[in-house]
Structure 1
Amino acid sequence: MSKTQINLKYEDTLQCLFFSTKNYSNIEWQELCDSINQTITSLSHEYIWHRDEFTVVLPVNTDEKNDIPKHLVSVTCFGDNIEDEWFIVYILLEITKKHNDLIIQIEDNDGHFLLIEAADYLPSWANPDSSENRVFIYDQYVHLIPPSLVPVDSTLKVNEALSLVAKKSEQTKASLEIQQAIFKKIGNYPEKIKDNCHKAIIKLPLDIAAVLTLKPSLIAPLVSAYSSLDSLDAKFCKDIDSNDCYDVEVKFTKFLYAMLLHTRFPNGFRFKSIANDNKIILGLKLICGYRSIMAKSSSDIFSTPEFTTFFNSLVRNGYFKDNLEGSIEHTRLLANAKSYFFKMECPVSTYVSRIINDLKLSKKFNNTVELLKDKSNSGLLENDNDSWLNIHPDQLNSYLNNHYGKKHQLKNNDPITPHIINSELTNFLKETSDYEGVEKINEDNLQGDTIEFDSENFVNCLEKMLNIISNNDVFDMSDQSDSDDGDSSSEANVINSDQDKELSSKLKTDYLSCQNDEKAVLNNFILSMKQEGLSGPVSNVFRTIGIDKSDLLDSDDDA
């Protein structure tokens, strides 16, 4: 499916289409959908989604005009935290373990982000224009349909692509390097879920604390709601008194905790005097987010302008067909449409407020309130260490080098000398480039051009040149035959001797000049790096040829 067909509603959105090699009936498709969602719930019950929860639904309207076979769909807005995107990839791979008939197509706003992650290992033909309907997840692996099966300049329809992946999976399976690049990104799940979380003690009213205890993932919309407040929203946050709050443990992702901690109070917000206490400050922020959501929500989700727009689009696209309003079939289709809207299209504030209200009406709510009150009074609560908020420059440099640095450094741990640097830069400048970046010259194509090389003669000449430079020697003329004419021979020897001395002096001068030039070039580069800050064009060039900035700059010794 092309990017233009995806119609992503939000920025930073991920769409998955679930196709099957089996011919399911409508009831079986719904059973498959329920089974997939159960797997998602079991894998993500401790996970906190940054924006939308990952869930799979049956489309309300089949897109037959694009020749797309029947499928399940998921559209997930992951917002600012791309970690959600990779956790979803992990879940998809796990889903294909349980349902080996599923072929999954996945794209985000950037297109095939799986290929972007494995860009260093892609075949030369693979690019955004040539990869349409060629990238899938099937049987626990990433598949990339090669030109050997379908030429790059040919149009590949979804039906044809699915058939190739199912019948020729060994040929469509992406290379080991591509698989490893993607598995490396998700390899630490599910353990990584706990590593990405942070527990903090915060002063909150018990009703909000109970809601977050019963459904910890609600912390994400509360933080997002607070972070988007402006001075006009001050009316939602009046008369907040921290004296009515209790110390409670709140679970965040590290991303959300840092986001809440560093978001300032908007202008116009006035609170009673508060101490410089993070427990109180963070609590006030969460209360503001909570009140904003509850105030902006609609009591009737299906009377909102968003649902009216959604409903009218279904009517225009013939969703209800010829069924009369009030008929059994029309009622069934309307119920399906409402269910889809609530899960996929509903405004965040309305969706979250409905979940909160349902939790407050549950039997567990009052019991949770009492348990939290007792736990708060026990004094046994403890914060997680937040030292991870402070990143040392060396840690940042190491991270950037590991993720974006050159994969292959200088060979054999060669010492970094002015000559090596100039040599590497010269080779870099000889490489070809286009709008996609620098392209290595294909050395295999050069093997056909044979060059005759006399190694023995070359070594002899090189030895003579080195002797001249190092010892300032002259060529030994004693092997020449003596001339009968003594005067002429003596004069010739003097001339040759002068010429040899001049040549020796010239070679030695050139050699020293070359060394000085290389040192001058290196010194200029180092000076530029010192002036450009943390990163810049010079650092990027050196990183391209395999030399790290820290290898050249020493904070203790400028020499």
Structure 2
Amino acid sequence: MSKLPGANLEFVREDDFVEYYIFPKLAQQQAQPAEEELRQQLEQVRVECMEIVEKKVDERCYIWHKDQFQLQVRTGSAEERLLNDEQQQDEEQHEGAALPPHLHGVTHYGDNISDEWFIVYLLSELTAARPDCIARVCDSDGEFLLIEAAELLPDWASPETCEQRVYIVNGGLQLIQNSTTDSQQQCLPMATAVQRIRLNPTLYRCSQDIQSCIDARCREFKTAQPHASIHRQIVQLPQNAAELLKQRPALVASAVRAFCERDSLDTKAMRSMRYFPPESPRIRTNVAFTRCLYAMLMHSQYTPERRLGWQLTDAVSQPECYKEQLLGVKLASGLEILASQAKQSSEEQTPAWRAYLRSLQGKGYFRDNLEGSAEYVRLLAAAKQHFKSNQQRFRTAPLVGAEIVELLLHTGEGNAAEQLRDEQNNLLPSDADDWLNISAEELDAMLQQRYGPQKLYNPNGDVNAAEFTKQLSQFLDRQSNFEGIETKSDAAAELDSDDDDEPAEPESTASGSSHSKVKKNPSMRKACQQRNSLIQSEEQDSTHVRNFLDFVIPEDNWDSNSEMSDYADEDDIERNFDALSSASGMGPDSYRLDRNIKAYMEQMDRELAQTTVGKSFQASGNANSSQRSAGEDDFDDIEDFEPININVNTLRNMMDSYKSQMGGAGPVSNLFNAMGVGMSAAAASEDKTDDLSESAV
């Protein structure tokens, strides 16, 4: 529900709009036809196009979510451009910048994106029925038709190079290629684009793959039957509300949006219910919703107040009857909100009109004419008519409310009430609404159908433990920035991308040449230094994890008879620390373990000696050796010792963590996704994680 702000005509340009142009080929009786003659020709084309559109909408019983498909005549005159608040920049430098005579429309689709693609379908049908028309459609994202087929576009296509280059001709998509003359001006004027297509209607036709992507989105609209997204539901409404929706079925969209987007003032109007009182008799009737509107109304929480007169049945004993009554209360409340917002004031008293008039005066629309003169009065009348017609294009709440109040004055007349009572005995059953609930399997199927099958690391779920830990180590070697993970080679290439394209000079002359490298300013040099320091810190952080993966057990003496004699012997502990120190660094500046860490590890070993944590590690060996009892595993015989397999244990622990996430987001799944590893259900199953081995899991 749009609240009309105190601005000019640009209040309609919200984020949920789709804008479309239709350029017809007009008959030129003279070199420069008069504006009135152009307007008559465009009006004739507009009427014929709207007949095609209305026929398609009626065949499919389509319900617009917010605004309808409408076309306005634009001749391209200077006065009209001022009224439409169009920018006239670069018209002096570019002769073809001004738009040729055309039809223009803006439609807000709100929360229902299907309206946008239905307009694409309508434009395709229009251009197919009228080959003399060239259409263009865009939205707040720009050329959204190319976004749908982004993976199939040519290499030169980008959001900058494709602006105003996408058109619908003869029902198909055309993309005007970038030429050498467009290098200085990437945004091609629409007048130039239309002229190029007129000269060669088939030169810029898109490939069949791109066209198939657009046709797939519009396929649901091609069948001439009630649209698949229409949901029919039996609703109990007050009699005047039922008659209202019988005459204007499209009002259901405005009523649902008004109820779901209500504020404190709207809630106050719902407590009075002056236009649709709860004590009035209620009747059961069929109401057609779009699935979007029905879902919005069902999920909008509201408990009717009994003191207002809403008497509903028990929700537990009669759930279907309760749903019909509750939906009727919500619809009646939405209609009440709209009726309470009806305003009959003239346009001179609205803030929007005053702001629009000030903008026209600032742009020199009245051309220094004295206020009250004949020319000033004519221009002012034209501005008022243009403002009023543009307001009527969009179904704002005050206009819809005024329409509801006008229709309520004539309810109860004729045989409408009798027809509704007769239809109560022959109502169509309500459609099933199980589509509101979707299972995880159905969601996966929808995503797979939309984006293709997921690329798993291994389709059969088998993962090589050594290869997995190798990839994990390589992943930890990488560095990240705000754009994602990158390798060292990528970072070096990015830093070297500032170099000139000139060939490299020999080493003897490279140091003395000032043209082999781009001269970096102090800010760029400082950024590079900060980047290098960040890389070094990241490498130090990842070193500890790599040491864990590449852990090497040093040589030890196993000549004691005690089970924990190795940990009790101080000489052996010293030798172990020395071995670890020598393994962790090979220079005078290498890291040496201090006495605090030694004492900490001694205490940790004594505590771990009394636990069974060692049994949780997988040893490298055959399956028979892993089945020995705990009493036999006493390390008495050095030949029976089996070293720990770090690869298998790392993978096993990560698989256990992944299984505990139960398919949800978590640290392991996020790490897998960043590494490019997708785990299948077989890889995370109970049987797999319990039977890990060194070769295959």
* TM superposition score category, shorter chain reference: 0.7 to 0.9
Tell me which residue corresponds to 2:44.
Answer: 31
Counterpart secondary structure, 1:105: strand
Q: Are positions 1:417 and 2:462 aligned together?
A: yes
Asked if the contact 1:222/1:293 (under 8 Å) is kept, the reply is yes
User: Structure 1 vs Structure 2: percent identity of aligned residues?
Assistant: 27
Tell me which residue corresponds to 1:126.
Answer: 157
The 5-angstrom pairing of residues 100-499 of structure 1 reads: 100-148=131-179, 151=182, 154-155=185-186, 156-191=188-223, 194-237=227-270, 238=272, 240-241=277-278, 244-265=281-302, 271-272=308-309, 273-275=311-313, 276=315, 277-300=322-345, 302=347, 303-317=349-363, 324=374, 331=381, 334-344=384-394, 348-360=396-408, 366-376=414-424, 378=425, 380-406=427-453, 415-419=460-464
- Aligned with residue 48 of structure 1, among 59, 63, 68: 63
Asked if the contact 1:406/1:546 (under 8 Å) is kept, the reply is no
Q: Are positions 1:68 and 2:98 aligned together?
A: yes
Larger Rg: 2
* TM-aligned CA deviation for residue 348 of structure 1: 1.1
Asked if the contact 2:39/2:73 (under 8 Å) is kept, the reply is no
Distance 2:148 2:656 in 1: 32
Distance 1:208 1:201 in 2: 14
Tell me which residue corresponds to 1:98.
Answer: 129
Distance 2:19 2:364 in 1: 24
Counterpart secondary structure, 2:288: strand
Deviates more, 1:267-276 or 1:8-17: 267-276
Distance 1:419 1:365 in 2: 80
Q: Deviations over 1:328-348 (max 9, x none)?
A: 67646643442233214xx61
TM-score by length of 2: 0.60
Q: Deviations over 1:430-464 (max 9, x none)?
A: 9999988899xxxxxxxxxxxxxxxxxxxxxxxxx
Distance 1:519 1:168 in 2: 67
Shift in alpha-carbon separation, 1:534–1:28, aligned structure 2, 3 A: farther
Asked if the contact 1:142/1:173 (under 8 Å) is kept, the reply is yes
Shift in alpha-carbon separation, 1:117–1:551, aligned structure 2, 3 A: farther
Shift in alpha-carbon separation, 1:433–1:173, aligned structure 2, 3 A: farther
Q: Deviations over 1:251-278 (max 9, x none)?
A: 1011111101110128999644533311
Asked if the contact 2:234/2:287 (under 8 Å) is kept, the reply is yes
Tell me which residue corresponds to 1:466.
Answer: none
Asked if the contact 1:543/1:549 (under 8 Å) is kept, the reply is no
Q: Deviations over 1:58-97 (max 9, x none)?
A: 2482247142313221111111111111111111111111
Tell me which residue corresponds to 1:457.
Answer: none
Distance 1:175 1:394 in 2: 34
Asked if the contact 1:52/1:76 (under 8 Å) is kept, the reply is yes
* TM-aligned CA deviation for residue 320 of structure 1: 6.0
TM-score by length of 1: 0.73
Asked if the contact 2:286/2:427 (under 8 Å) is kept, the reply is no
Q: Are positions 1:531 and 2:661 aligned together?
A: yes
Q: Are positions 1:58 and 2:73 aligned together?
A: yes
> Amino acid of the residue matched to residue 211 of structure 1?
L
Distance 2:675 2:134 in 1: 38
Greater helix proportion: 1
* TM-aligned CA deviation for residue 168 of structure 1: 3.6
Distance 1:58 1:406 in 2: 47
Tell me which residue corresponds to 2:600.
Answer: none
Q: Deviations over 1:491-548 (max 9, x none)?
A: xxxxxxxxxxxxxxxxx99xxx9x9837954872673375285457837966996957
Q: Deviations over 1:25-67 (max 9, x none)?
A: 2211122222222222111231111111121112482247142
Distance 1:431 1:395 in 2: 36
Shift in alpha-carbon separation, 1:554–1:417, aligned structure 2, 3 A: closer
* TM-aligned CA deviation for residue 419 of structure 1: 4.2
Distance 1:357 1:180 in 2: 46
5+ residue gaps, structure 2, are 1-9, 29-37, 90-96, 316-321, 487-619, 622-642, 691-697
Asked if the contact 2:165/2:175 (under 8 Å) is kept, the reply is yes
Distance 1:232 1:555 in 2: 57
> Amino acid of the residue matched to residue 391 of structure 1?
I
Tell me which residue corresponds to 2:15.
Answer: 11
Distance 1:380 1:26 in 2: 48
Shift in alpha-carbon separation, 1:43–1:400, aligned structure 2, 3 A: same
Tell me which residue corresponds to 2:530.
Answer: none
* TM-aligned CA deviation for residue 180 of structure 1: 0.9
Asked if the contact 1:19/1:69 (under 8 Å) is kept, the reply is no
> Amino acid of the residue matched to residue 306 of structure 1?
A
* TM-aligned CA deviation for residue 370 of structure 1: 2.4
Asked if the contact 1:103/1:138 (under 8 Å) is kept, the reply is yes
Distance 2:218 2:656 in 1: 38
Q: Deviations over 1:291-311 (max 9, x none)?
A: 111111211353433334334
Asked if the contact 1:143/1:169 (under 8 Å) is kept, the reply is no
Asked if the contact 2:26/2:41 (under 8 Å) is kept, the reply is no
- Aligned with residue 83 of structure 1, among 114, 119, 143: 114
Deviates more, 1:134-143 or 1:57-66: 57-66
Tell me which residue corresponds to 2:589.
Answer: none
Deviates more, 1:272-281 or 1:112-121: 272-281
Distance 2:482 2:169 in 1: 33
Q: Deviations over 1:5-42 (max 9, x none)?
A: x9962121111122234466221112222222222211
Shift in alpha-carbon separation, 1:540–1:529, aligned structure 2, 3 A: farther
Counterpart secondary structure, 1:252: strand
> Amino acid of the residue matched to residue 284 of structure 1?
V
5+ residue gaps, structure 1, are 1-5, 440-507
Distance 1:50 1:422 in 2: 54
> Amino acid of the residue matched to residue 144 of structure 1?
L
Tell me which residue corresponds to 2:607.
Answer: none
